[in-house]
């Protein structure tokens, strides 16, 4: 009843081409932003802000980056965490060595460095395809982390290998409290998500999708393979790099190679698979799912042992979490291979007809 | 240059490479027959080794334990086919790949819940010591166990080759690998074949698990041998059993040599990525690996 587009006539091209052509979507989006920027920092407690919402946003950004590469341009990558590590370490170095630069330009420059690394490791994609490429990106994962560990310059010759991230300062205001870090992250993520959404509607995005769907056909209609693939690697790594910097500066508070292990790469990959490959919304849904799942599981098991009186040992619990996690992934792939974003789309289509489907 | 030392490193590397090949074989089998890149192979190795070692620790005879574990792996293969693969028929390869990553988590959790997560030692009765006559006569230290492992893998490959070339099931497997639809059209039961392939891969995982377990102990880090096998896999080609063997030899030898002769210049620790870089450089020349199927596309 409420979700109808009847009567919304579009009289200009600009109206026809806006991001959310349906008025209800625009209202919902505005409400969501208001809730995220104003309501959440007011009502959420420190734990939720620092341990759940901030990492959720950061991982959503990383998932968005990977989605650009894997979901839109069709190049499977297992090196996400390496690009994130580059972003984190380079931000640290820019802030350390060029303090006059400010945090935002440092973030952008670090993202560009990650993009450079991404393009370098994207070069094989011109020759190698499919799973061969996926394994090749593993080389990036191991090599980059090795370099960051071995070359002292990156960690400013720190002996422990764990560096404390600098404070985020903009115009003299220090982002220290969880709420302020959350807002900083949210602002960055919102801007970059908007940019990604627009980019994917542009000629570049369509070129990505053409390469994904059939590379021969894409090159026949005049899309340059090399430029497009490398651009996809560059943009994706830029997003991952910024996400990695936020991960270190807003969430962990430290910059260390161990935080960016292969495990993180896989988690981000799970996010886009569960959320929806080739969907901006899907990156967020997937990130929410993967971040919340362990918390829900531990709450459930706590409730279980409270009700039945059986104490579950930590080892069993963590292994049980593994099983449920893996099982859910398989379950989701079987039930909805196109992810949560597809479920949302189906819901919207149903809503448009509700309550009279015929 | 000290040639005796060089040969010692080279042979040690080749034999280590055979161990990589053992794991890579499992990947190749499944990829060949179903086009699934089975990331869970590493955790299957872990699962098999842990089951075996736990059974022997509970006083079971070595051979009985091996038979029981083999039975468990066959059942596991059938269950995986039924629960995971059958509902995912006709999905894109990346979906199946993701499903096997999910499977990895399930297997790791399951094996540690059932058997506990403490590390075990595994004793197969072959000591991991240099052979005396060789170190005396030529001053080259080659571990007896390495040779034994190489022998086992040689036998395994021979058995698999006969199985694939001469038996009825083997021919059906090759037909399925060639073309799913054509195989179905001539009446080959696809689902049985997949169950068989996963069971065979389980058997290979058991052998690999025994070898690696005897070498490094049976513990969680055994799952990481899969990561060691991946460069072997892309070097040799996903679809080729000889490729897996040869790739393993190349990777093993060059990795050990690089570690000894190049490593010191970089400050060590290069083994984590060196194999990948070799494989990557190789792929730039031959994108389908040594013996992988050539796909002709001109883009």
Which range, A20-24, A85-89, B32-36, B283-287, has the best average confidence (pLDDT)?
A85-89
**pLDDT (mean) for B32-57:** 86
Q: What is the DSSP letter of A15?
A: H
Residues of chain A positioned with their CB less than 8 A from the CB of B105:
322-323, 325-326, 329
* Average confidence score pLDDT of chain B: 82
- Assess if residue A10 is contained within a domain: no
Please give the angle made by the CA atoms of A254, A259 and A262, to the nearest 5 degrees: 165
pLDDT tier at B296, thresholds 50, 70, 90:
low
Chain B, residues 66-95, CB within 8 A of chain A, namely: 83-84, 87-88, 91, 93-95
Residues of chain A positioned with their CB less than 8 A from the CB of B108:
319, 322, 326
CA quadruple B223, B229, B234, B236: dihedral, nearest 10: -150
- Assess if residue A81 is contained within a domain: yes
Contact with chain B for residue A220, Cβ under 8 A: no
pLDDT for the residue numbered B140:
67
pLDDT for residue A174 is more than 90: no
CA quadruple A218, A224, A230, A235: dihedral, nearest 10: -70
- The residues near A237 (Cβ < 8 Å, ≥ 6 apart) are A65, A83, A86, A114, A115, A116, A117, A118, A119, A122
pLDDT for the residue numbered A1:
62
- Assess if residue A158 is contained within a domain: yes
Q: Mean pLDDT lowest for which of A91-95, B21-25, B167-171, B290-294?
A: B290-294
Residue bearing the bigger pLDDT, A179 or B271 = A179
How distant is the Cα of A290 from the closest Cα of chain B, in angstroms? Answer: 13
Sketch the domain layout of chain B as residue ranges: 3-118+142-223
pLDDT for residue B58 is more than 60: yes
Q: Give the containing element (helix H, strand E) for A32.
A: helix A23-34
pLDDT tier at B229, thresholds 50, 70, 90:
confident
Contact with chain B for residue A352, Cβ under 8 A: no
pLDDT for residue A16 is more than 90: no
pLDDT for the residue numbered B297:
53
Distance CA A334, CA B83 (A): 10
Chain B, residues 194-223, CB within 8 A of chain A, namely: none
A143 contacts B273 by C-beta, under 8 angstroms: yes
A270 contacts A78 by C-beta, under 8 angstroms: no
Give first-to-last CA distance, chain A, whole Å. Answer: 14
Please give the angle made by the CA atoms of A217, B32 and B27, to the nearest 5 degrees: 110
pLDDT for residue A157 is more than 80: no
Q: What is the DSSP letter of A259?
A: G
Question: In chain B, which residue's Cα lies nearest the Cα of A271?
Answer: B98
- Assess if residue A349 is contained within a domain: no
Instruction: Count the residues in chain A.
Output: 358
Report the number of distinct structural domains present in chain A: 1
Q: How many CB pairs under 8 A join A and B?
A: 137
Rounded to 5 degrees, φ, ψ at A76 are -70, 130
Q: Hey, are the CB atoms on A76 and B94 less than 8 Å from each other? A: yes
**pLDDT (mean) for B38-59:** 88
- Domain containing A226 equals 44-261
Q: What is the CA radius of gyration of chain A?
A: 21
pLDDT tier at B133, thresholds 50, 70, 90:
low
pLDDT for residue A56 is more than 90: yes
Please name the member of A127, A131, A319 whose beta carbon is closest to the beta carbon of B284.
A127
The alpha-helical segments, DSSP class H, found in chain B are 3-34, 41-57, 62-80, 93-115, 132-137, 144-166, 168-178, 180-185, 190-216, 225-236, 241-261, 263-266, 271-285
- Assess if residue A124 is contained within a domain: yes
- Assess if residue A99 is contained within a domain: yes
pLDDT for the residue numbered B92:
78
Distance CA B285, CA B160 (A): 29
How distant is the Cα of A203 from the closest Cα of chain B, in angstroms? Answer: 20
Please name the member of A150, A323, A334 whose beta carbon is closest to the beta carbon of B269.
A150
pLDDT tier at A358, thresholds 50, 70, 90:
low
Q: Hey, are the CB atoms on B276 and A323 less than 8 Å from each other? A: no
Query: A interface mutation test: which of B113, B227, B232, B278 has the most A CBs within 10 A?
Result: B113
pLDDT for the residue numbered A33:
92
- The residues near B67 (Cβ < 8 Å, ≥ 6 apart) are none
B7-40 b/e (C-beta count within 10 Å ≥ 16 → b): ebbbbbbbbbbbbbbbbbbbbbbbbbbbebbbbb
Contact with chain B for residue A153, Cβ under 8 A: no
Contact with chain A for residue B245, Cβ under 8 A: no
Separation in Å, CA B6 to CA A13, B14, B129, B142: 73, 12, 19, 12
Helix axes of A130-150 and B93-115: crossing angle, nearest 10 degrees: 60
**pLDDT (mean) for B163-167:** 84
B299 contacts A219 by C-beta, under 8 angstroms: yes
Contact with chain B for residue A130, Cβ under 8 A: yes
Please name the member of A316, A327, A330 whose beta carbon is closest to the beta carbon of B113.
A316
pLDDT for residue A190 is more than 50: yes
Residue bearing the bigger pLDDT, A208 or B245 = A208
Please name the member of A130, A135, A329 whose beta carbon is closest to the beta carbon of B102.
A329
Query: Could you count the other beta carbons within 10 Å of the beta carbon of residue B261?
Result: 12
Q: Mean pLDDT lowest for which of A256-260, A309-313, B5-9, B144-148?
A: A309-313
**pLDDT (mean) for B242-259:** 86
Cβ contacts of B134-141, under 8 Å, gap ≥ 24 = B138/B4, B139/B4, B140/B4, B140/B7, B140/B8, B140/B11, B141/B8
Closest CA to A275 of A322, A210, A345: A345
Contact with chain A for residue B115, Cβ under 8 A: no
Distance CA A74, CA A212 (A): 4
pLDDT tier at B275, thresholds 50, 70, 90:
confident
Q: Hey, are the CB atoms on B299 and A219 less than 8 Å from each other? A: yes
How distant is the Cα of B40 from the closest Cα of chain A, in angstroms? Answer: 11
Q: Hey, are the CB atoms on A315 and B269 less than 8 Å from each other? A: no
Write down the pTM of the prediction.
0.87
Residue bearing the bigger pLDDT, A343 or A132 = A343
**pLDDT (mean) for B106-112:** 89
Separation in Å, CA A281 to CA A3, A159, A199, A340: 19, 42, 14, 9
**HSE value, Cβ hemisphere, 13 Å, CA-based, for B88:** 28
Distance CA B59, CA B73 (A): 20
Contact with chain A for residue B189, Cβ under 8 A: no
pLDDT for residue A348 is more than 90: no
Chain A, residues 76-95, CB within 8 A of chain B, namely: 76
- The residues near B1 (Cβ < 8 Å, ≥ 6 apart) are none
Q: Mean pLDDT lowest for which of A109-123, A178-192, B121-135?
A: B121-135
- Assess if residue A298 is contained within a domain: no
pLDDT tier at B299, thresholds 50, 70, 90:
very low
Q: Hey, are the CB atoms on A216 and B298 less than 8 Å from each other? A: yes
B21 contacts B244 by C-beta, under 8 angstroms: yes
Both tokens of residue A165?
């991230």
Distance CA B253, CA B256 (A): 5
pLDDT tier at B139, thresholds 50, 70, 90:
low
- Assess if residue A62 is contained within a domain: yes
pLDDT for residue B137 is more than 70: no
Q: Hey, are the CB atoms on B277 and A270 less than 8 Å from each other? A: no
pLDDT for the residue numbered B60:
79
pLDDT tier at A166, thresholds 50, 70, 90:
confident
Query: Could you count the other beta carbons within 10 Å of the beta carbon of residue A77?
Result: 31
């Amino acid at each position: 009843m409420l979700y109808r587009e009847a009567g919304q006539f579009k009289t200009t091209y600009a109206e026809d081409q806006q991001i959310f052509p349906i008025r209800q979507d625009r209202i919902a989006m505005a409400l969501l932003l208001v809730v995220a920027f104003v309501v959440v920092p007011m009502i959420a407690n420190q734990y939720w802000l620092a341990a759940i919402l901030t990492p959720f946003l950061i991982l959503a950004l990383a998932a968005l980056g990977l989605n650009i590469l894997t979901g839109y341009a069709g190049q499977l990558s297992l090196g996400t965490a390496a690009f994130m590590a580059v972003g984190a370490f380079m931000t640290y170095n820019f802030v350390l060595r060029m303090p006059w630069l400010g945090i935002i330009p440092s973030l952008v420059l670090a993202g560009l460095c990650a993009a450079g690394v991404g393009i370098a490791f994207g070069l094989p994609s011109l020759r190698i395809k499919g799973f061969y490429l996926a394994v090749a990106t593993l080389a990036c994962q191991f090599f980059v982390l090795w370099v960051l560990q071995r070359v002292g310059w990156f960690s400013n010759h720190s002996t422990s290998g764990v560096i404390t991230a600098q404070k985020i300062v903009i115009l003299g205001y220090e982002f220290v409290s969880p709420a302020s870090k959350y807002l900083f992250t949210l602002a960055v993520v919102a801007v970059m998500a908007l940019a990604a959404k627009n980019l994917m509607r542009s000629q570049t995005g369509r070129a990505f999708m053409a390469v994904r769907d059939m590379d021969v056909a894409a090159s026949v209609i005049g899309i340059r393979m090399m430029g497009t693939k490398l651009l996809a690697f560059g943009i994706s790594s830029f997003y991952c790099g910024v996400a990695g910097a936020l991960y270190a500066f807003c969430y962990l508070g430290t910059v260390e190679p161990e935080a960016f292990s292969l495990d993180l790469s896989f988690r981000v990959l799970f996010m886009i698979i569960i959320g929806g490959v080739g969907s901006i919304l899907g990156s967020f849904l997937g990130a929410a799912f993967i971040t919340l799942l362990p918390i829900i599981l531990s709450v459930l098991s706590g409730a279980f042992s409270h009700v039945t009186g059986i104490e579950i040992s930590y080892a069993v619990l963590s292994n049980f979490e593994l099983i449920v996690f893996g099982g859910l992934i398989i379950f989701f792939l079987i039930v909805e291979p196109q992810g949560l974003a597809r479920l949302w789309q189906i819901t919207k289509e149903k809503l448009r007809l509700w309550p009279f489907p015929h | 240059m000290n040639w005796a030392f060089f040969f010692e490193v080279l042979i040690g590397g080749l034999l280590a490479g055979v161990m990589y090949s053992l794991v890579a074989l499992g990947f190749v089998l499944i990829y060949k027959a179903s086009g699934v890149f089975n990331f869970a192979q590493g955790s299957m190795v872990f699962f098999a080794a842990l089951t075996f070692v736990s059974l022997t620790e509970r006083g079971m005879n070595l051979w009985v334990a091996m038979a029981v574990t083999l039975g468990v792996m066959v059942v596991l293969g059938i269950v995986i086919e039924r629960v995971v693969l059958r509902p995912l028929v006709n999905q894109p390869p990346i979906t199946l790949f993701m499903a096997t990553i999910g499977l990895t988590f399930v297997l790791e959790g399951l094996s540690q819940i059932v058997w506990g997560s403490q590390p075990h030692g595994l004793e197969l009765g072959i000591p991991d010591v240099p052979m005396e006559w060789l170190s005396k006569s030529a001053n080259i230290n080659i571990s007896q166990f390495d040779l034994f492992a190489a022998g086992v893998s040689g036998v395994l490959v021979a058995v698999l080759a006969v199985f694939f070339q001469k038996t009825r099931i083997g021919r059906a497997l090759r037909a399925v690998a060639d073309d799913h639809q054509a195989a179905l059209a001539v009446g080959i039961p696809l689902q049985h074949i997949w169950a068989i392939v996963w069971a065979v891969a389980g058997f290979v995982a058991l052998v690999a698990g025994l070898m690696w377990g005897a070498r490094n102990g049976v513990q969680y880090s055994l799952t990481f041998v899969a990561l060691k096998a991946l460069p072997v896999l892309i070097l040799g080609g996903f679809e080729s059993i000889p490729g897996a063997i040869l790739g393993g030899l190349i990777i093993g030898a060059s990795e050990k040599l690089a570690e000894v002769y190049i490593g010191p210049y970089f400050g060590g620790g290069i083994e984590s990525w060196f194999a990948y870089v070799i494989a990557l450089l190789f792929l730039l020349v031959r994108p389908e690996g040594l013996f992988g199927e050539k796909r002709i596309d001109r883009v």
